[in-house]
Structure 1
């Protein structure tokens, strides 16, 4: 009997798209009015389904709309996306998504995700150039010799650093660039590819889950809830330490097991395929010449500039993409690569990540179907109505799972914050605790599900490493269960301790 293979990431997402389209036929359509600040005219626009009303941009207008957010958050640009206005939900004429809309959704998703897709393709080109120069092989050989007997340090270092990036400036999509670089290093250290995948993805996931000063989740969610982002900072920071430590210990345990016995690897049957894919060289006589050292320095500088730009200067995908393109060109000059060879190598490197780019676009198609089918707000409306009459601990944990569920349909952290916080945060007032608890529920709920959320980044990450979603679930689910229990207990404890 022929063994049934687990479907590819693209197929999984198309199935989810079909399910989302089906939901638009089953779930009643509904819509909240949204509020957005027009900085050019200095007014609020209240946007309904059929009309837009201009309102005075004042605190009294916000109070009349029951939006508990200081006016300064809008005028300063801290909140720039449309927010849902409490109490304005109404059922509207259904707009079910049929076969034509289903086919169009991935195309629209690719167009909407063009910024990150181009970043991925340019990074692919840069990696291709780096591989051609031989700098990676020489650097990996040097690192493998330096860490001999202490390879576990690499796991601790990578997981901690990406987790810090996640909790501070929202390092997430940018980590796609790290896989082709770090996987050969881990393979040279005699680990399997699941170890670097886990170190990078779990690290950034636990970091963003326990965001402390992340502007794309903590700050925008706190602003949208009408509180300072420093409120609730201490419990989030403590939980970041707890969560990151648990993830590191979990990865170290698995890494030690597969290093001692490679047959215990969850992806043992893919060892040769992955080693061939990332083309690691086992020779120890690779010389790290001054030219190759300069190439590695330029490559590292691209990431340093990217991190500084995002965290300090507010850069986004256009600037990040330009940095990597400039880095590829400079490295081409340093290596004395001929023009035709450079273009051919760059295009080949970009094409290697084309499948990843398509996955990102198809995942965006899920949100397109739900938004155009007018059911996203319906899901939010009913989710906000299920928590009445609960005690504090039960309420917090129900909110945790509500946010986990909603993140399947709204995987964007900033999008989730501005859409849900004006609706969800006032519920805390009724229960009797601070609105920062809702912010924590939002972060922890989205973060927990992000470990396995097929509409998030995991499928794109797995596609780079060529690891199936079923293998990832087998590796990740025990950790997810541990983190879920600890998160639920921490939510209850933080209500009464802080």
Structure 2
């Protein structure tokens, strides 16, 4: 009987995204007891008064004339126009001003409150996710998705790999030019059924979308949220070092595509080779992959799919050209959902029910986003990010240039965990790190490259970024993703190091 009980014992599974995040949250809070708190003086531009405001670590503020002379005096190498035209919006760390402040450890109360504050802080993203879920719910009920997927499967039969190449390349293009990242959340409910219909697993879809975005942002060209703002903070043009990043982008996309395509081919030939084979039926049920006869792609359904696709085109245009953010994007999808509801022919009551049901399907995703933000809140409140930055900047001063740049890559990987925002990390760290390049005789664009590669690499796996929200959306556990991505992360880390050494010695 004991033997029988052991056989029927439930297999242990990896913790959910929420558990992983809460573990990281607790560990982050513990760090605020161990690492001394400290801060740099922060410089910001007050557009109403046309002055610079300095916020000291003890909370005192001081105003200074908004002139280039002020920036030069403070050793902030950015030009004045980058502040006045809004290119640099966030407070910038002033080099040489670090000082310890009173310890502010984050205890039980702060840990409990942090997820709530995290949800408040990410409400714009959460609303975006809910509205997208509602639109997907309407489209699924109408049959437009099933009809479209069946049609696409017939067109790409035997050449499904083209879909992987197309999606990865297109999203990488969005990532490198305007920082396409959070916007990709909208793509998973649409593309996952298409990849499953092509006999790939969900990991192939995640890799095409998430790694496309990650590689694009890692090798940024004109991305205003990383390459441009980082270069501005370093006092150089974003065109400096651009050639190396373009070459790196092309080669990194090729490396990533080869890796994904090899895995995809293996899974397509033998589904049992999938790292998530044990979840195959569960995932197919979640995404309504019906092997039966799909509805006919009528003129009405075609029109609905065209409008839905046009919504993405408008969104990309709005973000890239008009400076839209989540309020505008969410409003766009809401209008699109209403139009699709009218075209579907369903009544008002049915439309509302399906829209709400679709939004409800993404509640877990929305909450994961909020809890992930809670980790950053605890670290910021504990005042340890600047202490970590100061420690590393002091440790690498005066090193050999080749060793220096490899260590810079590793440092930005570590800092990218604590500060996952590319623009936030740029304005906090680049003013401190860029002058170190001068001391070892390197151009400052090498620092920008190391910053981009470092924060790009850690984004593949960091729980404080988008990956756990992505995995929650498709119900894949974190350990499966790590098993899939770690070899590719190793290849790209080595590639990044080689690119930096070439840039240093070119």
2:26 maps to which of 18, 22, 34 = 18
The equivalent of 2:50 in structure 1 is 42
Choose which of 478, 485, 501 in structure 2 pairs with 1:492. Answer: 501
Aligned to 1:131: 140
Q: CA deviation at 1:285?
A: 5.1
Residues 1:200 and 2:209 are matched in the alignment: yes
Q: Taking structure 1 as the reference length, what is the TM-score of the superposition?
A: 0.99
1:284 Cα offset (Å) = 4.8
CA distance, structure 2, for counterparts of residue 285 and residue 198 of structure 1: 27
The residue number in structure 1 matching 2:39 is 31
Match for residue 245 of structure 1?
A: 254
Aligned equivalents of 1:412, 1:438: Cα separation in 2: 17
Q: 2:185 aligns with which of 155, 158, 176?
A: 176
- Find out whether 1:372 has 2:372 as its counterpart: no
Segments of 5+ residues of structure 2 without an aligned counterpart are 1-5
* Aligned 1:463-474 pairs, distance under 5 A: 463-474=472-483
Query: What residue is the counterpart of 1:309 in the other structure?
Result: 318
State the partner residue of 2:290.
281
TM-score by length of 2: 0.97
> What is the Cα deviation at residue 220 of structure 1?
0.6
- Residue 219 of structure 2 is aligned to residue 210 of structure 1: yes
Verify: 1:335 aligned to 2:344, yes or no: yes
Q: Which piece of structure 1 moves more, 370-379 or 235-244?
A: 370-379
Name which of 46, 53, 60 aligns with 2:69.
Answer: 60
Report which stretch shifted further, 340-349 or 277-286. Answer: 277-286
Q: Which stretch of structure 1 is more off in the superposition, 181-190 or 488-497?
A: 488-497
> Of the candidates 87, 94, 97, which is equivalent to residue 96 of structure 2?
87
**Which of 80, 99, 103 matches 2:112?**
103
Matched, 1:231 2:240: yes
1:263 corresponds to: 272
Of residues 286, 291, 304 in structure 1, which corresponds to 2:300? 291
From 428, 432, 443, the equivalent of 2:441 is 432
Structure 1 distance, partners of 2:232, 2:263, is 40
2:394 is paired with a residue whose SS is coil
Counterpart of 2:415 in structure 1 is 406
Deviation at 1:415, TM superposition (A): 0.6
Aligned partners of 2:36 and 2:203: how far apart in 1?
A: 42
Deviation at 1:64, TM superposition (A): 1.1
* CA–CA separation in structure 1 for the residues paired with 2:449 and 2:219: 8
- SS of aligned partner of 2:481: helix
CA distance in 2, matches of 1:131, 1:482: 39
- Any idea what SS the aligned residue of 1:175 has? helix
Residues 118-157 of structure 1: matches in 2 within 5 Å? Answer: 118-157=127-166
Tell me the equivalent position of 1:345: 354
Give the CA RMSD over aligned residues.
0.9
Partners of 1:442 and 1:119 lie apart in 2 by 29
Measure, in 1, the Cα distance between the counterparts of 2:293 and 2:168. 27
Aligned twin of 1:322: 331
The CA deviation at 1:338 is 1.1
Shift of 1:389: 2.7
Match of 1:384 in 2: 393
Q: Give 5+ residue unaligned stretches, structure 1.
A: none
Q: Find the counterpart in structure 2 of residue 482 from structure 1.
A: 491
